[in-house]
Amino acid sequence: MLKLIPKIRPRRPTRSYAAVLAPRNESYAKVMQSDLLAFENFLGKDAVQKDDITNHTTDWTGQFKGHGSVVLYPKNTEDVSAILAYCSRNKIAVVPQGGNTGLVGGSIPVHDEVVLSMNKINKQFTFDDTMGILQCDAGFILEDLDNKLSKLGYMMPFDLGAKGSCQIGGNIATCAGGIRLIRYGSLHAHLLGLTVVLPDEQGSVLHLGSAIRKDNTSLHTPHLFLGSEGQLGVITSVTMTAVPRPKSVQSAMLGVESFKKCCEILKMAKSSLSEVLSSFEFLDEAIMECLKVNLDLHPVLNKSTPFSILVETSGSNEDHDMEKMSAFLEECYSKQLIVDGVLAGSSADATKMWKLRESAPLAVTRDGYVYKHDVSLPLESYYELTNVMKERCGDLAKRVVTYGHLGDGNTHLNITSAKKNEELENLMYPFLYEWVVAHGGSISAEHGIGQLKLPYSTLGKESEERLLTKKLKNIFDPNAILNPYKMI
Amino acid sequence: MLKLIPKIRPRRPTRSYAAVLAPRNESYAKVMQSDLLAFENFLGKDAVQKDDITNHTTDWTGQFKGHGSVVLYPKNTEDVSAILAYCSRNKIAVVPQGGNTGLVGGSIPVHDEVVLSMNKINKQFTFDDTMGILQCDAGFILEDLDNKLSKLGYMMPFDLGAKGSCQIGGNIATCAGGIRLIRYGSLHAHLLGLTVVLPDEQGSVLHLGSAIRKDNTSLHTPHLFLGSEGQLGVITSVTMTAVPRPKSVQSAMLGVESFKKCCEILKMAKSSLSEVLSSFEFLDEAIMECLKVNLDLHPVLNKSTPFSILVETSGSNEDHDMEKMSAFLEECYSKQLIVDGVLAGSSADATKMWKLRESAPLAVTRDGYVYKHDVSLPLESYYELTNVMKERCGDLAKRVVTYGHLGDGNTHLNITSAKKNEELENLMYPFLYEWVVAHGGSISAEHGIGQLKLPYSTLGKESEERLLTKKLKNIFDPNAILNPYKMI
């Protein structure tokens, strides 16, 4: 494996990451009674919620709490335009919010920003089942879209734990990843067009891109909204491709003795399983132990090994896929890359395997307090991070466990302790993120920056790039009212 | 098939498209002897070419001719930075040029712009064969990259006729499409990072994105360069994913009696061939006749049908792929979707099939003068355009033929005549492009705007979007020196 850039930047002297969140920017207007009346006037009374709004000002983990006083429920693009025009003219800060399933506080107000909920923009849905092109309102829940497509032989090209609550608009705004990126690519592979409303004084409505697969007639501006975390504009409609729904899904669990072998297996899977490979997930011994102790979930393999790999294929022909998977397993054995391996013989078997991977986030929470991480690393450093952190945290950590999307280089390293522990935190941060950047990784693979990673968001970023993103932000949001105090 | 947006905009009164290309902007400096000396000074004498430069100021079709007086050959990013800083400070217009294989004159100077050739920036190449991530200089030729990857079990995720000359930087700048987009997606699916030099007074060098598959720590700015046609900055290095090289490639030719059936076959192919489907190409009877008459290339099918479909699968297991392809052909017969079908039994057979498709662009040139088109349309209008144009052009056209990437909705409608014919042109334009836009299509699917389509580039674009692209251009190129008189 050739080593890729890792332009390892010189370690800077330890910086101060203290200024976690900016104080309220007093140039933003406070929402007054007259504003609420104006909102009611142009949206209707039922679209303005003033009481019981904590489930919109707090994230589902309870980690982030804003204290906005109002949630607005636009019903369509025009309502969003009216809201943003009003707020821009009156310099009222706004935070757009989809399913509120994020893990970094990106859709939660920091201070008293107005929450613009997309919950009611979920009516328009069209699908071209020859070209596989979907066009829908941004407030649709991912799972609902997938169910609709299922009846037409298609599926959404990504899948993640929050699918029952997250919305497609939020998925675009965060460039959601998930467990099948290795097969279907990131959302960049599928995005064709967006309707967005800009937070300018006109609440400009822009139709960007188109509903065709090839269109080279202008800058490809929709892609700038992928991962923009609600800081450029509010997405109200999405046009994207879906993928044919697989008719056969096979899963296998492999027991592996070294991390190096995990990487060799990945390389082999890409070559042997090739077009049917749809997931390549990773669990270490520590998370397996955590699943057993905290959730009474037991390994499906007989032998305990330092690493487990969960491989999934998705294809159109069960016989072919089973044959490919069997040949792959045999190759793994014959090359002595695995010491144990099980091919799911039934959907119950597969469910048991996936339950282990999918329950990992829950298992760690039972330890007490969890320091969750979502970072990307070149494979040569992927598991080294776990070892480094294990040694660094020593007895202060109750557990240091790792699971993740090995096929994408995305690791979810979790460090638990009985309760929040400042000494442990000081050992971990900023060290962990500096280490990741120094090793050519990303401090946020798929969760984004939001509030959680704001202190570290400039790590490894060059000043030219930061300046560019600021200039871009300024074009879209000249009064800087949209989702302030965050990434840009 | 649900009808997608085609927001059919009201037909405007016929507009004037007369102002094809802008006159020289006299605010640009003319290149003087002192400038040439300065270039030689910081690039070296061998990097400044003043004589015999017509192959850089003229495109390969001979359709576009500029009259620049100098071609610069930077050797690396630093050279590009020095050039752009100098030209920005001195307000000298610059046109970046890759392999000069475009079809719309995008990399050809309009007036006397300095040509910045990427031909010598082709040294750096690294590849991570576990993650499938490629990082290389922008001047590498596509085929050379593909050959390098071939030895490592991978391939470039796109393929096009010009692969022997086109460069990866130009492919990114034009968001090249080609024959396998249906399988591997557009270049958005693969782009991870870019090094770009901005045409500002510092010649700012930006490292955008990263060399990992998942990175959500900033705006995804690399994607803004896909399809930017050299108007935002000069790409000097590309980081992207490659795909596992298929071990088995199968081809089949189908004879179809109606266009509706072609669409049904496409839908079936997506479901039945699913993960192995890699091309779905289209040829009508008129192009088949043209191939026969002009190139003595004969159909591979026994029966002559109004439409021919060329289907390709790429997979990892020949037996499986042949079985899928056979079952697919049987299904086509049993559903009476085809009247004839041949599965290539050898690579010679496959070559014969592909020769038909690949020779189509050459075949039309033998008619005399060719009016080439590259448009996308929703499938319900895909072939209607051909019929409409056939009727409209009548006897003025020698031939109206269509081939293209049906799987992507991309049609290459070609209209030939013995020689350039103004009467025919007036019948075709602006009618054809207005028709495409009115039917929800794109006037440029994969060739871009360049000089050729500039008069029509605003068709169907809303003023808000055009304003946005102008603002974006201004951020990247504040002195507007990069590739002027074109798209933005």
- Phi first, then psi, for residue B331 (nearest 5°) are -60, -40
Closest CA–CA distance from residue A268 to any residue of chain B (Å): 9
Size of chain B in residues: 488
Residues of A in contact with B195 (CB under 8 A): none
Residue B82's CATH number: 3.30.465.10
Model confidence over A125-175: pLDDT tens digits? 999 999 999 999 999 999 999 999 999 999 999 999 999 999 999 999 999
Name the pLDDT band for B20 (thresholds 50, 70, 90): low
CB contact under 8 A, B214 and A408: yes
Q: In the prediction, which pLDDT does A14 show?
A: 42
CB contact under 8 A, A462 and B207: yes
* Best mutation target, A171, A218, A247, to test chain B (most B CBs within 10 A): A218
Query: Least CB-CB distance to B189: which of A2, A153, A185?
Result: A185
Same domain? For B188 and B332 the reply is no
Confirm whether B1 is domain-assigned.
Answer: no
Closest CA–CA distance from residue A348 to any residue of chain B (Å): 25
Model confidence over A60-113: pLDDT tens digits? 888 899 988 999 999 999 999 999 999 999 999 999 999 999 999 999 999 999
Residues of B in contact with A488 (CB under 8 A): 219
Q: In the prediction, which pLDDT does A17 show?
A: 57
- Phi first, then psi, for residue B68 (nearest 5°) are -65, 160
Name the pLDDT band for B59 (thresholds 50, 70, 90): very high
Same domain? For A216 and A257 the reply is no
What average pLDDT does range A360-380 have in this prediction?
96
CB contact under 8 A, A448 and B216: yes
Confirm whether A65 is domain-assigned.
Answer: yes
Query: Least CB-CB distance to A153: which of B271, B441, B443?
Result: B271
Same domain? For A98 and A229 the reply is yes
* Best mutation target, A137, A152, A219, to test chain B (most B CBs within 10 A): A219
What is the C-alpha separation between A288 and A418, in angstroms, rounded?
19
Query: If you average pLDDT over every residue of chain A, what do you get?
Result: 94
Same domain? For B76 and B99 the reply is yes
Domains of chain B: total: 2
- Is the predicted pLDDT of residue B288 greater than 70, yes or no? yes
Confirm whether A206 is domain-assigned.
Answer: yes
Closest CA–CA distance from residue A45 to any residue of chain B (Å): 31
Closest CA–CA distance from residue A412 to any residue of chain B (Å): 13
Confirm whether A10 is domain-assigned.
Answer: no
Residues near A440 by Cβ (< 8 Å), separated by ≥ 6?
Answer: A4, A5, A6, A7, A8, A377, A378, A381, B210, B211, B212
Residue B405's CATH number: 3.30.70.2190
- Is the predicted pLDDT of residue B13 greater than 80, yes or no? no
Per DSSP, what are the bridge partners of residue B256?
A: B307
Model confidence over A251-262: pLDDT tens digits? 999 999 999 999
Same domain? For A285 and A432 the reply is yes
Q: In the prediction, which pLDDT does A20 show?
A: 60
Residues of A in contact with B247 (CB under 8 A): 274
Query: Least CB-CB distance to A475: which of B274, B472, B488?
Result: B472
- Is the predicted pLDDT of residue B443 greater than 70, yes or no? yes
Query: Least CB-CB distance to A127: which of B2, B189, B465?
Result: B2
Residues of B in contact with A446 (CB under 8 A): 214, 216
Residues of B in contact with A244 (CB under 8 A): 270-271, 274-275
CB contact under 8 A, B133 and A226: no
Residues of A in contact with B9 (CB under 8 A): none
Residues of B in contact with A6 (CB under 8 A): 211
CB contact under 8 A, B405 and A214: yes
Model confidence over A271-297: pLDDT tens digits? 999 999 999 999 999 999 999 999 999
Query: Is residue A315 classed exposed, middle or buried when 0-12, 13-18 and 19+ CB atoms within 10 A define those classes?
Result: buried
Where is the domain boundary, A422, A438, A454?
A: A438
- Is the predicted pLDDT of residue A431 greater than 80, yes or no? yes
Model confidence over B358-371: pLDDT tens digits? 999 999 999 999 99
Closest CA–CA distance from residue B198 to any residue of chain A (Å): 10
Closest residue on chain B to A437 (Cα): B210
Report CA torsion sign: A455, A456, A462, A464: negative
Where is the domain boundary, A245, A271, A297?
A: A245
Same domain? For B252 and B241 the reply is no
Confirm whether A473 is domain-assigned.
Answer: no
Q: In the prediction, which pLDDT does A401 show?
A: 98
Q: What is the 3-state secondary structure (H, E, C) of chain B?
A: CCCCCCCCCCCCCCCCCCCCCCCCCCCCCCCCHHHHHHHHHHHCHHHEECCCCHHHHECCCCCCECCCCCEECCCCHHHHHHHHHHHHHCCCCEEEECCCCCCCCCCCCCCCCEEEECCCCCCCEEEECCCCEEEEECCCEHHHHHHHHHCCCEECCCCCCCCCCCEHHHHHHHCCCCCCHHHHCCHHHCEEEEEEECCCCCCCEEEEECCCCCCCCCCCHHHHHCCCCCCCCEEEEEEEECEECCCEEEEEEEEECCHHHHHHHHHHHHHHCHHHEEEEEEEEHHHHHHHHHHHCCCCCCCCCCCEEEEEEEEECCHHHHHHHHHHHHHHHHHCCCCCEEEECCCHHHHHHHHHHHHHHHHHHHCCCEEEECCEECCHHHHCHHHHHHHHHHHHHCCEEEEEEEHHHCEEEEEEEECCCCHHHHHHHCCHHHHHHHHCCCECCCCCCCCCCCHHHCCCCCCHHHHHHHHHHHHHHCCCCCECCCCCC
Closest CA–CA distance from residue A334 to any residue of chain B (Å): 19
Same domain? For B225 and B286 the reply is no
Residues of A in contact with B276 (CB under 8 A): 275
Q: In the prediction, which pLDDT does A15 show?
A: 47
Closest residue on chain A to B469 (Cα): A219
* Rg, chain A, Cα only: 23
What average pLDDT does range B197-203 have in this prediction?
98
CB contact under 8 A, B5 and A211: yes
- Is the predicted pLDDT of residue B238 greater than 90, yes or no? yes
Confirm whether B147 is domain-assigned.
Answer: yes
Name the pLDDT band for B447 (thresholds 50, 70, 90): very high
Q: In the prediction, which pLDDT does B4 show?
A: 42
Same domain? For A235 and A268 the reply is no
Full domain range(s) for residue A419: 248-438
CB contact under 8 A, B464 and A204: yes
Same domain? For B298 and B217 the reply is no
Q: In the prediction, which pLDDT does B61 show?
A: 83
Same domain? For B113 and B217 the reply is yes
Confirm whether B452 is domain-assigned.
Answer: no
Where is the domain boundary, A188, A217, A245?
A: A245
Model confidence over B116-150: pLDDT tens digits? 999 999 999 999 999 999 999 999 999 999 999 99
Closest CA–CA distance from residue B32 to any residue of chain A (Å): 31
* Best mutation target, B206, B217, B259, B321, to test chain A (most A CBs within 10 A): B217
Same domain? For B117 and B50 the reply is yes
Closest residue on chain B to A5 (Cα): B211
Question: What ipTM was reported for this prediction?
Answer: 0.95
Model confidence over B261-273: pLDDT tens digits? 999 999 999 999 9
Closest residue on chain A to B176 (Cα): A216
Q: In the prediction, which pLDDT does B466 show?
A: 95
What average pLDDT does range B425-435 have in this prediction?
96
Q: What percent of chain A has pLDDT over 90?
A: 93
CB contact under 8 A, B214 and A177: yes
Residues of A in contact with B8 (CB under 8 A): none
- Is the predicted pLDDT of residue A7 greater than 80, yes or no? no
Residues of A in contact with B190 (CB under 8 A): 185
* Best mutation target, B125, B128, B228, B275, to test chain A (most A CBs within 10 A): B275
- Is the predicted pLDDT of residue B56 greater than 90, yes or no? yes
CB contact under 8 A, B126 and A5: yes
Q: What percent of chain B has pLDDT over 70?
A: 96
Query: Least CB-CB distance to A324: which of B181, B317, B488?
Result: B317
Closest CA–CA distance from residue B70 to any residue of chain A (Å): 29
Query: If you average pLDDT over every residue of chain B, what do you get?
Result: 94
CB pairs under 8 A between A and B: 316
Query: Least CB-CB distance to A472: which of B190, B247, B475?
Result: B475
Residues of A in contact with B175 (CB under 8 A): 216, 220
Query: Least CB-CB distance to A378: which of B212, B247, B471?
Result: B212
Q: In the prediction, which pLDDT does A2 show?
A: 39
Same domain? For A315 and A365 the reply is yes
Closest CA–CA distance from residue A219 to any residue of chain B (Å): 6
What average pLDDT does range B163-192 have in this prediction?
96
Confirm whether B11 is domain-assigned.
Answer: no
> Which secondary-structure segment (H or E) carries A340?
strand A340-343
Q: In the prediction, which pLDDT does A21 show?
A: 72
